[in-house]
Amino acid sequence: MNGSTLTSPPRRALAAYEHPGCRYSDDGRTLHTFCRVCGGPLDVRIVTDDPPQLEMSCPAGCPPEEITAAYARYLPDRHREATNGHGPARKGDGGENNRRVLLTPASAITPERTRWAWAGRVPLGAVTILAGRQGFGKSTLIAGLSADLSRGRLEGDLAGEPARVVLLSYENHPRSTIVPRLMAAGADLDRVLILEAEQDGRPDLVSVPGDLERIAEATNGHGARLLVIDPLVAALGGGIDAHRDQDVRRALAPLAQLAEQADLAVLATIHLRKGGAADALDRVSGSIAFTAAARSVLAFGRAPNDEDGPSRVLAHAKCNVGPLSPSLAYKVEGCEVRADGGEVIPTSRVVLVGECETSAAELLSAPTVEPRTEIEAAAEWLADELGDGEWHPTAEIRQAAKAADIAWRTVGRARERLDVETARFAPPGSSRAVGHWRLPAVPSAPGTAGVARQPNPHGKRDCGPSAGLSCQDAELARQGTAGHGRPCDDPEGCIVPTRPTAHGWLCERCDRWVPPAHGKARRRGGAA
């Protein structure tokens, strides 16, 4: 470990090397921070008080003068003068905690130009979102970008300097998918690091922001310049709702802070919601905060004029730190790589074709099969959810709609279009009535959906949905030994007014219970 001394005039000299997340020793004389030269850990210790003399210990041996100059660019001396020389509240200083607010004159901040991991598209020190539909090649594109960065051939401020990349993937297996794609793209595999976690010696999921401190230590310790999270929503820890702005911003703020402090580019993928949208950014799944918090947003998908082919387009949807870059055309092609043992592994890679005219709005609004409105897409989804013809609790449908990124008001309009039947009754084993939905027995109008009901085993009336009872089952039901808990389709003709149950009334033909929410059933059974 390299140890050097350096004299600094400020009273609280250690304050010049603070950053969010650093910590002091119990005696307040040593600051555990990170080196802004190499990105690794750094200990700064007070050797003498008058004049203040510091000792810096950087495992990489970075010179103290370079470290101080790097911090001076980030936190100039005039900033320390503006705070009257006072450091943060620490143990022994009378402060309750290490939190404080700072006022910095704009004149004390040295302007800096944006630096790029990928020129014009992926900035260093910031979060970039890569949006696109599943299965269209986002991860293959990332493998190509990671390979270029690891070889120093990606256009930008790191061009000519091979850099390390950290990949955090929740959907692709390293052995069968990630590494073969990196090999196909010509990556320096020693410079691409797969990020995983373990708890008590067992594999565990990496969480954001819960594991960000550990991620910072790992990325800084290896000098990584790009962190990939694929997909970002899968990384969000428990208690974070991807559809709530406040939750998303609370998770992304520390991630953006990590990127800024380590001069690290963060590239996170995210899927698209179903249905169309007027604004390209509104197609991104989850809260709008994902794209609002990101400094750059890229969109990747099939070329609108080649829906069934290998053509892809990367378009720039948003950039807060520079102008939008031209769209790029790619082709996804199959290829093979050979493992160390000689085994041939099929995989894929992206090949850059050149610039194109497709905008992000055109790319994200391009239909995957045929143009559909939000209501049409929701109706198709709802018909699939209710396709078994059974009654489904409204709460379950609402939860499924949320998971599918379909607004509840849109589901309601889809319900009207499909002429969905609704009822309110208590399911077996419960005394609380809840709402239920199901498709009608037959389509009620052109363009609506319906399900075929099985013939009534008793020959006269339709007493149930698609899975009708056999005569033997019906007989067992009448004997009270095989109840099935399905509501009846004809409560007025089938109920027995004198046989109420906790959940409604019983059918006189098959002993199926009838939900009390049926108006006719309620009127017939009201006197019971």
Q: What is the pLDDT of residue 20?
A: 60
| Residue 327 in tokens | 């769209």
Please state, in angstroms and rounded to a whole number, the distance separating the CA atoms of residues 349 and 143: 8
Residue 471 CA, chain-centre distance (Å), reads 51
Q: What b-and-e string marks burial along 440-460, b requiring 16 or more CB atoms within 10 Å of the CB?
A: bbeeeeeebbbbebeebbbee
Please state, in angstroms and rounded to a whole number, the distance separating the CA atoms of residues 45 and 35: 14
- Residues 409 and 368: beta-carbon distance below 8 Å: no
Please state, in angstroms and rounded to a whole number, the distance separating the CA atoms of residues 163 and 154: 10
Q: What is the pLDDT of residue 182?
A: 97
**Backbone phi, then psi, for 408, in 5-degree steps?**
-65, -35
- Residues 366 and 308: beta-carbon distance below 8 Å: no
For the entire predicted model, the pTM comes to 0.55
Q: What is the pLDDT of residue 335?
A: 94
* Contacts (Cβ under 8 Å, ≥6 apart) of 310: 331, 332, 333
* Contacts (Cβ under 8 Å, ≥6 apart) of 352: 328, 329, 330
C-alpha closest to that of 290 among 377, 238, 231: 231
Q: Label each residue of 134-145 as H, E or C.
A: CCCCHHHHHHHH
Ramachandran region, residue 447 (left: φ > 0; alpha: ψ -120 to 50; beta: rest):
left
Q: What is the pLDDT of residue 330?
A: 95
Residue 461 CA, chain-centre distance (Å), reads 50
Distances (CA, A) of 511 to 400, 478, 494: 32, 6, 9
- Name the amino acid, one letter, at 259: A
Q: What is the pLDDT along the chain (528 residues), one digit of tens a residue?
A: 444 444 444 446 777 787 666 778 877 788 888 787 777 788 898 888 777 788 998 888 888 888 888 777 655 433 333 333 333 344 444 445 567 787 888 888 888 899 999 999 999 999 999 998 888 899 999 999 999 999 999 999 999 999 999 999 998 899 999 999 999 999 999 999 999 998 888 988 898 888 988 999 899 889 999 999 999 988 987 778 888 888 888 888 889 999 998 999 999 999 887 655 556 677 777 788 888 889 999 999 888 877 677 889 999 999 999 999 999 999 999 999 999 888 999 999 999 999 999 988 888 765 544 445 788 888 889 988 888 778 889 988 998 888 888 888 889 888 888 888 888 888 777 778 888 898 876 554 545 555 544 444 333 333 443 333 333 333 333 443 333 334 444 444 444 443 444 344 445 444 444 444 433 333 333 333
- Residues 142 and 118: beta-carbon distance below 8 Å: no
Kindly state the helix (H) or strand (E) to which residue 116 belongs, with its residue range. strand 116-118
Per DSSP, which regions of 18-68 are E strands?
23-24, 30-34, 41-49, 52-58
Q: What is the pLDDT of residue 307?
A: 67
The SS3 of residue 414 is helix
Q: What is the pLDDT of residue 87?
A: 39
C-alpha closest to that of 504 among 492, 518, 483, 493: 518
Q: What is the pLDDT of residue 191?
A: 96
Residue 487 CA, chain-centre distance (Å), reads 40
The SS3 of residue 215 is helix
- Residues 463 and 507: beta-carbon distance below 8 Å: yes
Please state, in angstroms and rounded to a whole number, the distance separating the CA atoms of residues 275 and 369: 12
Q: What is the pLDDT of residue 187?
A: 96
